Structure 1
């Protein structure tokens, strides 16, 4: 059972990972990603008593994150950020920022199952955990991940 101290430690150690994952699902929309991150941790706290085995905590947290993001996107039918919106918000981005925005745009174009896989991979989640979270075999995951990375690489180069 997770107590308040355990929750605070989890929050401190995983907040940025959950936020970046949500940011990927929202196509770089920071305000929505922050809202979703808070919702994820609210769900973690609310359902903390359902976690029986702390060894699966990271997988449990990522599953809550993915499901929360997908539910929100379905509910709001969220449209990804358009380039003109990004450009209106600030000055010209440097090369790294431009590539990052291109990557988020390319990720946003992926089918939802592929988006889940690549975002979890970018967060450093092990392939075994990603396979468990997504419900596909480890071999199939490795193949999909390779194809997704090839697709993203081509997309970012052409964006």
Structure 2
């Protein structure tokens, strides 16, 4: 299989996961999330030849995504990436969208590592794979997920 066809298959299988993860990091900012997803796949294209296969390719791509998004957040630290709903549009926004925005705001308040853990958990990644991506042991991931969910639950209720 040519490099181009191999990359296209990887892209098709992983883009939806990457864009959702980027959306989580970037508080639902779709334009910026699309830019970050593009950056991720540029890196995947550039370094595909270096991928050794020590882990699942999706784990490798998640790691690239996490690092790319964290790098972007550090660059834009002084700029607000929060979802803002104009008062005249507030009546048009459904309750589900409000809850979604509220969850993103709460996720945005987490530490970078906890944000990574919960976004990967929400993505449906197995906890053992999350541990591999983050670089901590599996039992620590289980404990953190429980604590993060409690923290998010309290945050959303107080919004």
* Fold shared, TM-score > 0.5 on shorter chain: yes
Question: In structure 2, do the counterparts of structure 1 residues 55 and 111 end up closer, same or farther at CA, with 3 Å as the change threshold?
Answer: closer
Within 5 A, what are the aligned runs for 1:7-46? 7-46=7-46
Of stretches 49-58 and 88-97 in structure 1, the one that deviates more from structure 2 is: 88-97
- Stretches of structure 2 that go unaligned for 5 or more consecutive residues are none
Match of 1:123 in 2: 123
Aligned residues: 157
Q: Summarize deviations over 1:108-141 as a string: whole Å, max 9, x none.
A: 0111110000001111111011101111110111
Of stretches 51-60 and 127-136 in structure 1, the one that deviates more from structure 2 is: 51-60
Within 5 A, what are the aligned runs for 1:3-82? 3-53=3-53, 56-77=56-77, 78-82=79-83
Does the aligned pair in 2 maintain the 1:80–1:105 contact within 8 Å?
A: no
- TM-score normalised over the length of structure 1: 0.91
Moved over 3 A (4+): 88-91
SS of the equivalent of 2:19 reads: helix
Q: Please identify which structure carries the higher helix content.
A: 1
Indicate the RMSD between aligned Cα atoms, in angstroms.
1.9
How far apart, CA to CA, are the structure 2 residues paired with 1:2 and 1:40? 20
Give how far 1:54 is off. 7.5
SS of the equivalent of 2:56 reads: helix
Question: In structure 2, do the counterparts of structure 1 residues 5 and 90 end up closer, same or farther at CA, with 3 Å as the change threshold?
Answer: farther
- TM-score normalised over the length of structure 2: 0.91
- Stretches of structure 1 that go unaligned for 5 or more consecutive residues are none
